[in-house]
A = this chain, B = another copy of it.
Amino acid sequence: MKFSKATNYALHTMLFLAVSPQNKLIGVQQLAERQQVSTTYLSKILTKLVKAGMIESTSGASGGYRLKRNWEEVSFLDVIHAIEGTASLFECGMNHGPECLIQQVMLSAEQKMEEHLRNQKLSDLAKQMPVVQ
């Protein structure tokens, strides 16, 4: 039970794009170097973020990635769900009645965490950081 490295890469990439000059395309090379990860692997992660509608990509020479219009509303939970999926963290696969009390406790605990992550926008963090050229 741990968050995957991919989630870490995704969050850091989003934050890096947030403190970069807007509308400027940034290649996956630059993003990968900064995080010590291969470009091919990172591009796979970014593809998920594109499909989730958080960033957009441009092909061809001088192509790259940049945030989409509504990026200021993107929360930590959005990024995590895009990478890890939205399935529940705990599933009591047993057949002992329809309502498992344990399941309910675990579910509400998970929702506590999600609520906190939903309230944390990337833009909140970006404000606290210096803009990178």
- Whether A35 contacts B112 by the Cβ 8 Å rule is no
What is the distance, in angstroms, from A1's C-beta to the closest C-beta of chain B?
A: 5
Q: CB < 8 Å: which of B8, B94, B125 contacts A105?
A: B125
How many interface residues does A have (CB within 8 Å)?
Answer: 37
The prevalent SS among residues of A at the interface is helix
Q: Indicate whether A93 reaches chain B with its CB closer than 8 angstroms.
A: yes
Chain B residues in 8 Å Cβ range of A129: 101
- Whether B89 contacts A2 by the Cβ 8 Å rule is yes
- Whether B116 contacts A112 by the Cβ 8 Å rule is yes
5 closest residue pairs by CB, A with B:
A113-B113, A109-B116, A3-B90, A112-B116, A112-B112
